[in-house]
Amino acid sequence: MFEKYFSTRILSTPSSFIREILKVTQKPEIISFAGGLPNPVSFPQEELKVSMNRIAEKFGDKIYQYSTTMGLDSLREFIVERYKKLWSMDIDINNVIITTGSQQALDLMGKVFLNENDKVLVEKPSYLGLLQAFCLYKANFVQTKLNDDGLDIDELKNTIKTHKPKLAYLIPNFQNPTGLTYSAQNRKEVFEVIKDEDLILIQDDPYGELRFEQSERLPYIGLNQSDKNIYLGSFSKIVTPGMRLGYIIANKEIIRMIETAKQASDLHSNIFGQYLIADYLQNNDLDKHIEKIKKLYKTQSSAMVEAMKTYFPKNIKFTIPKGGMFSWATLEQGKSSVDLFNCAIKKNVAFVPGDPFYVKEKNVNTLRLNYTNADCATIKEGIKRLSEAMSEV
């Protein structure tokens, strides 16, 4: 009865697909590879309990009062120091704004940059949360092929020439949904293609810290070579997602616009959580904590890969993750992962069919598998059940 009141943007935004999936997968008998939940071991619960009592003593009513839109100085300072150390970035706290999770960073990118029908270059497939966020700003998406080592350079050149996108949104490390990582060489080639274009490059990096297969970190695309680079980061996968704390690093002129947009969106992010995480980071060794997470995820990833090698029918392809939280499987051409989902759910195993990661394609033959939120025996059993479903569809 309210349809005539709703905005065209909300009526054209997809949502029910994933929501329905998550509803189904919450039944206790289901082994779910559908979510994107970090393993609870990645939450330093004891240390956070110490920190929350300490900030209550130390800062009193400040942890409960209104605060600034830009975010807590000490938390932004930590981010500045970390990115200086890791990437020699020439930034200060006025290049950093705290967001209510990375998802809000996506919403703010839409608010600040997108006019209706503006072209946005995204990977094919891309993160569904981005597609959903930008859909609300009526973005015109152009998807560019993602190969095992990064973007397909020829297709990228063509896409840019044909469409002249205003924004590009890329996830170079352990991409969601595919788990793929751009090679050092591919990063250089991508930057060569885009560097002289009128293009803002957003690099979303929630998983970069979770590289468990080799120690070398790969630099961002065009690192320290472009004022049109925007970096998104998050504490969700390395400390806690429940606090909803992410951040944006960008040129100060851009940050000032984002600040205006954020002020109108939620005034500021939860300040208690900002004090809490800042205190935790100041009093603990984050890298040591991350090592623990990586060790576990490597074990879980290996369990899934081994089980897929053992049980999957031979015509099923899948990525072997070097970090992050996901693998990505491809069925035989012509098969639909939605059909597979409907069969798998009867066998009490779930995943996310590929459809919501594409802009146009429906009934695709790809699917996302998360391995971080189940123990190895459960992962093995889940993949076994999924394999049975695969041979029936």
**222 is an interface residue for its own copies by CB under 8 A:** no
Could you say which DSSP state residue 115 is in?
P
Alpha carbon dihedral 80, 184, 222, 249, in 10-degree steps, equals -30
Residue nearer to its own copies on the CB measure, 56 or 320: 56
Smallest separation (angstroms) from its own copies to the CB of 136: 5
CB 295 within 8 A of CB 156: no
Spatial distance between the Cα atoms of 218 and 150, rounded to a whole number of angstroms: 12
**Between residue 152 and residue 191, which ones bind its own copies under the rule CB under 8 A?**
166
Smaller CB separation from its own copies, 239 or 383? 239
Binder to its own copies among 75, 80, 91, 133 (CB under 8 A)? Answer: 133
Looking at residues 372 to 391 of the shown chain, list those that interact with its own copies (rule: CB under 8 A): none
Residue 197 in tokens = 């274009």
Q: Which CB sits closer to its own copies, 52 or 343?
A: 52
Amino acid at 344: A
Contacts 24+ apart (CB under 8 A), 312-318: 312/383, 312/386, 312/387, 312/390, 313/387, 313/390, 313/391, 316/390, 318/369
Q: Contact 114/131 with Cβ under 8 angstroms?
A: no
* DSSP class per residue in 9-29: HHHT---HHHHHHHHHHTSTT
List binders of its own copies among 81-100 (CB under 8 A): 100
Task: Return the residue of 30, 34, 112, 202 that touches its own copies, per CB under 8 A.
Answer: 112
Contact indicator for 331, 390 with CB cutoff of 8 Å? yes
66, 216, 314, 333: residue in contact with its own copies (rule CB under 8 A): 66
Cα(12)–Cα(132) distance, integer angstroms:
10
The residue with tokens 């930008």 is: 134
| Closest CB to its own copies among residues 101, 208 | 101
Q: Which residue has the tokens 């989902």?
A: 341
Show the 3-state SS of 32-56. ECCCCCCCHHHCCHHHHHHHHHHHH
Q: From the centroid of its chain, how far is CA 278? A: 22
Tokens read off for 188: 């250089």
Rounded-to-integer distance, Cα 118 and Cα 120, Å:
7
Q: What is the dihedral of CA 337, 342, 348, 351, to 10 degrees?
A: 30
According to CB under 8 A, which one of 103, 181, 319, 370 is a site residue for its own copies? 103
Say how far apart CA 299 and CA 295 lie, in whole Å. Answer: 6
Give the residues across from 98 on adjacent strands.
Answer: 247
Q: How far is the CB of 17 from its own copies (least distance, A)?
A: 11
Among 227, 291, 332, 375, binds its own copies (CB under 8 A): 227
Name the one range near its own copies by CB under 8 A: 51-59, 297-305, 320-328, 375-383. 51-59
Q: Cβ closer to its own copies: 105 or 340? A: 105
| Among 112-120, 141-149, 170-178, 214-222, the segment contacting its own copies (CB under 8 A) | 112-120
Candidates 89, 97, 114, 121; binder of its own copies (CB under 8 A) is 114
Task: Establish if 194 lies at the interface with its own copies (CB under 8 A).
Answer: no
Q: Toward its own copies, which CB reaches closer, 230 or 383?
A: 230
Number of residues that bind its own copies (CB under 8 A): 79
Residue (123 or 259) nearer to its own copies, CB: 259
- Nearest residue to 370 (alpha-carbon basis) of 237, 244, 245: 237
Give me the least distance between CB of 52 and its own copies, in Å please.
5
Of 74-82, 134-142, 339-347, 355-363, the segment contacting its own copies by CB under 8 A is 134-142
Judging by beta carbons within 10 Å of its beta carbon (0-12, 13-18, 19+), is residue 378 exposed, middle or buried?
middle
Q: Which 333-352 positions form the footprint of its own copies (CB under 8 A)?
A: none
* Per-residue binder mask for its own copies (CB under 8 A), 308-327, x = binder: --------------------
Per CB under 8 A, contacts with its own copies among 237-296 are 240-244, 251, 253-254, 257, 259-261, 263-273
2 counts as binding its own copies under rule CB under 8 A:
yes
In the region spanning residues 7 to 36, those forming contacts with its own copies, defined by CB under 8 A, are 7-10, 13, 15, 19, 35-36
Q: How far is the CB of 365 from its own copies (least distance, A)?
A: 26
Q: How far is CA 286 from the centre of its chain?
A: 20
| CB-nearer residue toward its own copies: 255 or 389 | 255
